[in-house]
Amino acid sequence: METSSTTRLPNEILFNILSHFCLHCQDHYNQDWDERPLRAIKPCREEQQPNAKSWYSIERNTLFAACLASKGLRDIAQPILYHEFVLGYGDSWKSDLYDWGGRLISFMQTLARRPELCRQVKVVYINTRLFTSNDEGKRATLLEAARALKIDLPAVWKQRASNILASEAEDWPEVYSIFLSTYLDESRDWTEKQERRLRRAMDQSPAPAWRWLNSELMAMLIAQTHAVQYFSIQGNRTWPTNGLPESSLRSLGVVNLPLKTLDLGIAANSLIELAPTLRTLNLHDYSGDLSAWDTELPNLKTLRITNDYLSANTLRRLLDACTGGLVAFEFEAYKRVAESPRCGFEDYENYTPAPPHMLRDSHFQPSDVIKILQKHKNTLRILHLDLTNREYRTKKIPLDVNLKDFSTLQHVFINAFQLLGSEENIEIEHEVLIRLLPRSIVSLVIHRENFRRRCRVKEALFALADSKSRSPDHFPFLKHVACNLRKRSTTVSSLRSLFEPVGVEFCTRVESLNKLKPYLSGHNGSSSLGFPVFDDSSDAEL
């Protein structure tokens, strides 16, 4: 029974009240955290404590309660409740009190039974803690969701099994075809050898079959949420080595997704290909093969790539695909978490192996980026190029390469060694910044990697400050310069005294994109299979 106080409130007022508990309705995901220069944003709430309830679940409980209070409130609250599925978003995953079990399955089952709610889902964030348990409920959920979409999933999987891509079967080729052709089959008509192999793939570590099943659940969720605008997938060993199978989405009839923002911590080229409306693409520790990329991304404006490795050819393919003109290109190079374990595999969980394509170093050079970005010189506003982890493999930007033609470029982040080189005996080019930067520059951030390079950076900064002091029209829009020099040094004091009279702030705080990015928070990592799976010798006798 509804209380008199709620019945007197118009639905519009109730909607506004309840939407306060939805991050999507509050336009949270569109907040521009990437303002330049990069600075830590003060959080709007206290840090999540492990012994406290998840702040996100507390806010969602209000919507759940409204759905249960009355039919009138449910009709208003339920569409808001299903605007997003982002359990563990932000730092809420740190709560030890949160029960992750069955959350994803329950959500997918509800969408299968209430198809009108599928259109309400706008934001999905997949934290890998959703897959902490392996159970047959995943199989039942897949079949139920497929029936709601009028898809004969066992038949679809069998068809896929007849034409398997090598990349999809990498984790255990002999068993992957068995998994696709028999796992959903009610008759379970398999040979003794097939059954034993499949059981091993599900029961024995590293259990690749559960990884395959997780990726199929993800493909089905994408097929269900056909109106989603923002999709985010955290990466680690929850997934197959090569992430989302290329054949899974297309086999479910997914041909076009209205995505605007996509965060990927796993390989999922097919997901990018099916999103022509994509405006922001964030790739973190991305293992997908982009070397043959040929799909246009006409609406992409922001491309962020962190903890990764790209050859010049791959970079060219990606940037050439952005036919509508990039506004921001941001890159931070791959970094190993630890060197290869020295004593067996006891440190395996903390070991990040180098990607296969890094065995022969062909990573792009800074000059490659500038040349390839020429196609975007009339639209690019942000260039963030952090190659800190590749200092001694990176060449100095040559004298004949600069950013002068980039008429809209306002914000540049760059390493000192890209400007000045890493060799000790190299000749210092004092006016490198004056030669390199465009007239439109507003902020410049230089990351200095070691103490020895302090003098080189200092001379370049003094030359820039002197040029600006003598001719204020030189770089007329420049407002901010940062370099991580020693905060209380005489060099910093001198630079401030030169920059401040001409309206330029100088500071020593330099932030990395990887540290400040709000997307794919928590533990991300490689999806490479932990150990190779070998058949036992008895298989050969069957």
Q: In what order do the strands lie in the sheet with 123-126?
A: 84-85, 123-126, 230-233, 261-264, 280-284, 302-308, 328-333, 382-386, 411-415, 443-447, 480-483, 505-507
Which range, 151-155, 182-186, 533-537, has the best average confidence (pLDDT)?
A: 151-155
Name the residue type at position 128.
T
Distance between CA atoms of residues 387 and 335, nearest Å? 10
* pLDDT (0 to 100) of residue 350: 44
342 pLDDT higher than 60: no
Q: Mean pLDDT, to the nearest integer, of 114-123?
A: 96
Distance between CA atoms of residues 496 and 478, nearest Å? 14
Q: Give how far Cα 416 sits from Cα of 138, 372, 451, Å.
A: 51, 21, 11
DSSP structure class, residue 256: -
* pLDDT (0 to 100) of residue 152: 97
Do 268 and 243 meet the contact criterion of CB atoms below 8 Å apart? Answer: yes
Separation of first and last alpha carbons in the chain: 67
Average pLDDT across the chain, whole number: 88
Q: Is 179 helix (H, G, I), strand (E, B) or coil?
A: helix
Q: Mean pLDDT, to the nearest integer, of 467-488?
A: 93
187 pLDDT higher than 80: no
pLDDT higher for 146 or 189? 146
The candidate with the shortest Cα–Cα distance to 217, out of 146, 311, 114, 299, is 146
275 pLDDT higher than 60: yes
pLDDT digits (tens, 9 = 90+) for 343-358: 333 333 444 555 544 4
Q: How confident is the model at residue 425 (pLDDT cuts 50, 70, 90)?
A: low
